[in-house]
Amino acid sequence: MPLVSVVTPSFNQAQFLEKTLRSVLEQAYPHIEYIVVDGGSTDGTLEILERYGDRLRWVSEPDQGQTHAINKGFSMANGSILAWLNSDDLYTPGAIATVVEYFQTHPEAMFVYGDAAAIDDRDRLYGLRAHVKACDRRSLVEEGDFIVQPAAFWRRELWEAVGPLDESLHYTMDYDYWMRAAEQFDLHYLPVCLAYERIYPLAKTSKGSIERIEEIEQVARRHGGSGLPRNFRPEGTANYIWRALGSAARFDWKSARQDIANASRLGGSVVKVFLYLASMTLFSAAGVPKLRLLSNRLRSNRPIVWPSTS
């Protein structure tokens, strides 16, 4: 049975870390190599890692950020199947055995991803991530990211062919990696819920704002796209308008005009742009994650198919 290597990058997330560790260590599949790469946390993370130290490998030292930590973890890994799980996300029971079975029954598959359920910082469930679907390189570049990172797994052969994550990227190292993988391999979609993705105000994706949107556009153009993928445009437009309003309030008309020009360039659904702006107005920094969770609950109309745990 193949060895599965899971890497968790960690930095000051003791609030969630133990649940993440247990979601890996309590998998029924017996051949898991678990590596935690911590960036020198000071919040109680090390005490948690020490408690589980006989069941995983871990290192805690300053690094160059999340992407560097993930690459460092994979450089230590020995498995023939690879994945990373951020320190605030979770695997569902039976997830890894389900993925291994798929790889064994589909020897041509190099990259497999499944469904993921959305949860908040209190573990409340908001249904399956509604945007996940079968995709290819073209749809990733032009439409959006249909892969939820903690639900993705790949063979070592793919990692060796595609290379490590791009450490110059802060928000989109996973999205870029899916596009790079799709240049050489088919992406296999398995409609089984393999992970929980935690969406909350302090998550990096939630805090990204315009910097995240601009990095998404940069990556899409790098892979031949015409600009920001369609599914990200309402969020991008709302962020540019929001920043323009702030600039106008400070009488910085030049910056405001530039952001309005960017908002006009992106366009997107007027209703969705309005919803983003309304959530930002009502809830400030917490507005976007709140909107994502509510929208997911309303749009998630598929029943959850859980992995078999027998």
| pLDDT averaged over 10-residue windows placed end to end, the chain, 310 residues | 97 96 97 97 95 94 93 98 98 98 98 97 95 97 98 98 97 97 98 96 77 96 96 94 94 96 94 92 83 91 89
Helices 209-222 and 173-184 cross at an angle (nearest 10°) of: 20
Q: Does residue 267 sit in the same domain as residue 215? A: yes
Q: Does residue 191 sit in the same domain as residue 248? A: no
pLDDT of res. 207:
65
pLDDT of res. 270:
93
pLDDT of res. 32:
98
- Rounded distance between C-alpha atoms, residue 208 and residue 289, angstroms: 11
pLDDT of res. 251:
95
305 within some domain? no
Give ∠ CA 75-81-83 in degrees, rounded to 5: 65
51 within some domain? yes
187 within some domain? yes
- Contacting residues for 54 by C-beta, under 8 A, at least 6 apart: none
- Rounded distance between C-alpha atoms, residue 54 and residue 48, angstroms: 12
Query: For residue 137, which of 66, 185, 79, 87 has the smallest C-alpha distance?
Result: 185
310 within some domain? no
307 within some domain? no
Q: Does residue 52 sit in the same domain as residue 73? A: yes
Asked whether 287 and 281 are in contact (CB, 8 A), the reply is yes
User: Final residue of a domain: which of 173, 197, 221?
Assistant: 197
Q: Does residue 169 sit in the same domain as residue 237? A: no
Q: Which residue type sits at 72?
A: K
Domain containing 94: what range?
4-197
Q: Does residue 38 sit in the same domain as residue 164? A: yes
Q: Does residue 30 sit in the same domain as residue 68? A: yes
107 within some domain? yes
Q: Does residue 69 sit in the same domain as residue 172? A: yes
Q: Are strands 81-84 and 4-10 parallel, antiparallel or unpaired?
A: parallel
pLDDT of res. 97:
98
Q: Does residue 128 sit in the same domain as residue 146? A: yes
309 within some domain? no
Q: Which residue type sits at 38?
A: D
Q: Does residue 64 sit in the same domain as residue 152? A: yes
- Rounded distance between C-alpha atoms, residue 114 and residue 134, angstroms: 9
Q: Does residue 126 sit in the same domain as residue 52? A: yes
Q: Is the dihedral of CA 189, 192, 194, 200 positive or negative?
A: positive
CATH of the domain at 65: 3.90.550.10
Q: Does residue 246 sit in the same domain as residue 138? A: no
User: Final residue of a domain: which of 143, 171, 197?
Assistant: 197
Question: For the chain, how many structural domains are there in total?
Answer: 2
Asked whether 84 and 163 are in contact (CB, 8 A), the reply is no
304 within some domain? no
Give ∠ CA 284-148-296 in degrees, rounded to 5: 50
User: Final residue of a domain: which of 157, 178, 197?
Assistant: 197
Q: Does residue 153 sit in the same domain as residue 48? A: yes
